[in-house]
Amino acid sequence: MHEKTSILFKYNYECDAQIIINQGGTSSGKTYAILQVLFCLAIEMPKQIITVVGQDIPNLKAGALRDALSIQAASDTLKLLIKNYNKTDRIIEFNNESIIEFKSYANGQDAKSGKRDFLFINEANGISWEVYSELALRTRKRIFIDYNPNTGFWVHERLIGKPGVQLFISDHRHNPFTDDATRSKIERLKMEDTELWKVYARGLTGKVSGLVFTNWHVCEHIPPDAKLIAAGLDFGFSNDETGFLLVYKQNGELWVNELIYETGLTNTDLSDKLKSMGMSTSTEIIADSAEPKSIEELRRLGWYINPAKKGPDSIKNAIDILKRYTINVTRSSVNLRKELSKYTWKTDKSGQSLNQPIDAYNHLIDPLRYVALNKLMIKNQKAPRSRLPQQHHPAQNTVAGQMQGML
């Protein structure tokens, strides 16, 4: 049924444990492999209810749901066996009356509704123990869990090592479909930060500390009276994402909304995409000054675009500016939220901060910096101080985790 599978598919498919935990680094293919298993289970047994749970709907749409639809589109067999995809309710319906539903739950009380045969908790460190335990109580057969092990959390404290629980640890080396450029980028983390390398290159439980930004919060939407400052743009193509976001200001706080995070975009593609989104050509775009040819090409396509004012200390200056504000990030800005939860300071061999951020996980943070440099750095005027930060993402915690053995 699946033309391409990894060793993780085999491990998860053949495992008979009640709870199967997939702890893995980035690009290990753990989510994709589990979804392939769920498709098999849905087809092999009629009338199965399979629930895939994410932190919120935007995360699901950008991750597990997108992968599931990709798996469906790549298999002629699945196309014959699937009756319908209900886009509104995010339910894949099979001819044998099995379903795979994609859901999120606000709290434990919300999670009490409904029962299921199989449960998949995707990116579990973004979901509370209360929600998980209510869902687990209402799952009849098997539970799959996956996550990047930034820090220890309830999986390590309450599940790993218990009877009926199987742990698989994986990294990009277990995924034969990861390209060489991505592998190199992941392995280069070792030269920047051994904790990040341990987590994202080897799938080991780490202690990701030294986050650059802790002054950010999740918001549902941009206030209607917020003033648009500018758009930020970071160019990418084959291996790096093009990042595009809008930055607003209201009541001395910044409000940020991610619009584009995608590889393979030419400048013409980008222009067409912005037009299709209804972006006004009068909105100023602040872009990476290292790409003057691309900036000029977009100008000729009718866009109001200027280069970022870079200098010897521009990265540090922009960070200093942004840290003076409370930054409100829309819930739909999934990739920006992930970057903010991974963006850390470089450290030396003794673990001391070098006051310079690691050049990774920044394809949306960089355009945010560009806007700060051009539009928020006002002479003789300091930006307002932010309120005390609140933690909205598990990656902002620094609870040490137990290192696990490799597969």
Amino acid 288 reads D
d(CA 184, CA 171): 13
| Residue 2 φ then ψ, to 5° | -95, 120
Asked if 90 and 99 touch (Cβ cutoff 8 Å), the reply is no
Token pair in block for residue 353: 């901060």
Three-state DSSP at 111 gives helix
Q: What predicted TM-score, i.e. pTM, was given to this entire model?
A: 0.75
**Bridge partner list, 327:** 216, 254
Check residue 203 and give left, alpha or beta (phi > 0: left; psi -120 to 50: alpha): left
d(CA 104, CA 90): 11
Report pLDDT for 349: 72
Report pLDDT for 193: 80
Which residue stretches of 45-179 are H helix? Answer: 57-62, 64-73, 76-81, 129-137, 154
Give the containing element (helix H, strand E) for 84: strand 82-86
DSSP secondary structure letter of residue 161: T
Show Cβ contacts of residue 71 under 8 Å, excluding neighbours closer than 6 positions.
Answer: 2, 32, 35, 36, 39, 78
Which residue stretches of 15-63 are H helix? Answer: 30-44, 57-62
Give the containing element (helix H, strand E) for 145: strand 139-147
DSSP secondary structure letter of residue 344: B
Tell me the CA distances in angstroms from 263 to 106, 235, 377, one per residue in order.
32, 9, 30
Q: Return the number of other C-beta atoms located less than 10 Å from residue 402's C-beta.
A: 12
Which residues in the chain come in under a pLDDT of 70?
351, 378-407
Check residue 140 and give left, alpha or beta (phi > 0: left; psi -120 to 50: alpha): alpha
Give the containing element (helix H, strand E) for 327: strand 327-330
Tell me the CA distances in angstroms from 189 to 9, 345, 366, one per residue in order.
27, 12, 18
**Strand pairing class (227-234; 165-170):** unpaired
Report pLDDT for 403: 27
pLDDT, tens digit (0-9, with 9 covering 90-100), for 133-180: 999 999 999 999 999 998 889 999 999 999 999 999 999 999 999 999
Domains contained in the chain, CATH given: 7-186 (3.40.50.300), 216-390 (3.30.420.280)
pLDDT, tens digit (0-9, with 9 covering 90-100), for 211-231: 899 999 989 999 999 999 999
Asked if 108 and 154 touch (Cβ cutoff 8 Å), the reply is no
**Bridge partner list, 114:** none
Asked if 156 and 205 touch (Cβ cutoff 8 Å), the reply is yes
